[in-house]
């Protein structure tokens, strides 16, 4: 049989998919034995298989395959995180959540920018671009970690929700600063905040609509004609929620998270599924989320540029340490302390100060800047990769230990 280029490419892609799933299954098993979050092992496996290691995986950051996996994988993990959030738990902490997702991102970006300007000797506008890129936390990391580490619902769902909502702010801030860089104009905080409000509202409305329609089709007493196809409905609706809102130039990631919240709290709308259908849907979501994070973090690890890390190692390390030990605690204190109704304890505040992993979205933004050949983009990419490696390898692995020390684990 003659092997056409299309068949050869299809076989190579099939081999890549099978190898990533096989490696992910094995490393996930190792993570369970070591009792650490599986995303840590996936990242390490990706670094070992990437161009700096065995060179088995070579998927470019700007390739269609990589972008598809990043977008849909992040969307599905966000949907999973939203479905696990209970609205009743968030009722007393929403002012903190709103502040962390908006003001918190801005504070984090500014503190990081001043540190980068001083330590890396780059112009402030590019330092601000760096701060904006890494300012948001990563739901693709945090959601799986809190799936595996049973931290008290109040703080776990606050941190997961923050990671979903502040992705929008981080991306908006990054593109606002990038626009100022490319056009030579001044960066406008007021314009960025107005854009955030518009994109967030559209994302929330889109998520609410898609969530209600999905719940209607799979869980309504009279109109649930697609109940037995509930897993397919979730896949279709996640893609539809993201694309429909993103095409309106709003936050598709926020839409899928809100969609998950509506579906996960469908009982508040009077919808209820049969027990067997509910269990089947839950099992499907858990399995699909596992597959998505295997692909995301193995590919992310394979794309870490160690040459860049070595070139800017000490400066990048210093900026990341400021980012972790100064910027994040300042954000938590400014955004959480004023909310007296939430009654945050010292242990909960300390836990939030430490828990802020960086991952998929900052990595994608840094890769985009390198592809556009933005000035100082290699410096920005090196700091971003350093932040991803340190926060995932150090903070994610210590989440359970710290929660135990602070007596924040569920009994």
259-289 confidence digits (pLDDT tens): 988 888 888 888 887 777 788 888 888 888 8
Q: Where is pLDDT greater, at 154 or 222?
A: 154
The secondary structure of the chain in percent helix, strand, coil, rounded to multiples of 5, reads 80, 0, 20
Confidence tier at 116 by pLDDT (50, 70, 90):
very high
pLDDT score recorded for residue 118 = 92
pLDDT of 324 higher than 90: yes
Confidence tier at 327 by pLDDT (50, 70, 90):
very high
Q: Percent of the chain, pLDDT > 70?
A: 96
On average, the pLDDT of the chain sits at 84
Bridge partners, residue 409, by sequence: 151
Q: Where is pLDDT greater, at 192 or 231?
A: 231
Over residues 29-52, the mean pLDDT reads 85
Over residues 364-390, the mean pLDDT reads 82
pLDDT score recorded for residue 330 = 95
Between the two ends of the chain, the Cα-to-Cα distance in Å is: 61
Confidence tier at 2 by pLDDT (50, 70, 90):
low
Confidence tier at 333 by pLDDT (50, 70, 90):
very high
Most confident of 49-53, 109-113, 171-175, 367-371: 109-113
pLDDT of 325 higher than 90: yes
Q: Percent of the chain, pLDDT > 90?
A: 18
pLDDT of 318 higher than 90: yes
pLDDT of 1 higher than 60: no
**Global pTM?**
0.80
Cα-Cα-Cα-Cα torsion 11, 26, 44, 323, nearest 10 degrees, comes to 110
pLDDT of 359 higher than 80: no
pLDDT of 188 higher than 80: no
Over residues 113-118, the mean pLDDT reads 93
Confidence tier at 8 by pLDDT (50, 70, 90):
confident
Bridge partners, residue 151, by sequence: 409
Helices (H) then strands (E): counts for the chain: 20, 0
14-405 adopts what CATH topology?
Na+/H+ antiporter like fold (1.20.1530)
pLDDT of 192 higher than 70: no
Over residues 388-401, the mean pLDDT reads 87
192-205 per-residue burial string, b: 16 or more CB within 10 A, e: under 16? bbebbeebbebbbe
Q: What's the rounded Cα separation, in Å, for the pair 168 and 197?
A: 10
Least confident of 111-115, 136-140, 190-194, 230-234: 190-194
Over residues 195-217, the mean pLDDT reads 85
pLDDT score recorded for residue 7 = 85
pLDDT score recorded for residue 296 = 84
Whether 375 contacts 129, CB under 8 Å: no
Whether 116 contacts 132, CB under 8 Å: no
Over residues 237-260, the mean pLDDT reads 86
Whether 297 contacts 43, CB under 8 Å: yes
Over residues 241-249, the mean pLDDT reads 88
pLDDT score recorded for residue 32 = 84
Whether 291 contacts 285, CB under 8 Å: no
Q: What's the rounded Cα separation, in Å, for the pair 149 and 144?
A: 9
Quote the tokens at residue 392.
Answer: 């995932």
């Amino acid at each position: 049989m003659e092997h056409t280029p299309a068949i050869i490419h299809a076989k190579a892609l099939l081999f890549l998919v099978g190898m990533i799933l096989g490696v992910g299954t094995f490393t996930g098993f190792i993570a369970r034995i070591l009792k650490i979050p599986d995303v840590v092992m996936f990242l390490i496996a990706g670094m070992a298989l990437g161009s700096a290691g065995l060179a088995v995986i070579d998927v470019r950051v700007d390739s269609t395959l990589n972008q598809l996996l990043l977008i849909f994988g992040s969307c599905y993990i966000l949907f999973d995180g939203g479905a696990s959030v209970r609205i009743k738990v968030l009722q007393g902490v929403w002012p903190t959540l709103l502040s962390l997702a908006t003001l918190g991102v801005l504070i984090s970006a500014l503190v990081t920018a001043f540190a980068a300007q001083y330590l890396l000797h780059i112009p402030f506008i590019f330092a601000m671009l760096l701060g904006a890129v890494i300012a948001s936390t990563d739901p693709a990391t945090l959601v799986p970690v809190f799936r595996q580490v049973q931290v008290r619902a109040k703080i776990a769902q606050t941190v997961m929700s923050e990671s979903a909502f502040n992705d929008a702010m981080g991306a908006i801030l990054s593109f606002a600063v990038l626009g100022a860089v490319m056009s030579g104009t001044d960066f406008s905080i007021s314009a960025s905040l107005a854009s955030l409000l518009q994109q967030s509202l559209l994302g929330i409305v889109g998520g609410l609509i898609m969530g209600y329609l999905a719940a209607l089709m799979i869980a309504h007493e009279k109109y649930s004609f697609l109940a037995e196809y509930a897993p397919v409905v979730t896949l279709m609706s996640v893609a539809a929620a993201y694309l429909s809102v993103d095409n309106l130039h709003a936050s598709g990631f926020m839409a899928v998270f809100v969609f998950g919240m509506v579906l996960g709290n469908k009982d508040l709308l009077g919808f209820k599924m049969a027990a067997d259908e509910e269990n089947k849907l839950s099992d499907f979501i858990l399995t699909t989320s596992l597959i998505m994070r295997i692909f995301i973090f193995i590919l992310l690890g394979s794309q870490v540029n160690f040459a860049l890390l070595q070139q800017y190692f000490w400066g990048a390390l210093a900026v990341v340490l400021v980012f972790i030990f100064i910027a994040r605690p300042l954000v938590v204190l400014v955004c959480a302390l004023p909310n007296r109704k939430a009654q945050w304890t010292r242990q909960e505040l300390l836990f939030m100060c430490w828990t802020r992993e960086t991952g998929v979205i900052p990595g994608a933004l840094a890769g985009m800047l390198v592809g556009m050949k933005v000035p100082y983009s290699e410096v920005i990419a090196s700091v971003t990769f350093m932040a991803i490696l340190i926060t995932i390898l150090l903070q994610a692995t210590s989440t359970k230990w710290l929660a135990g020390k602070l007596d924040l684990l569920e009994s």
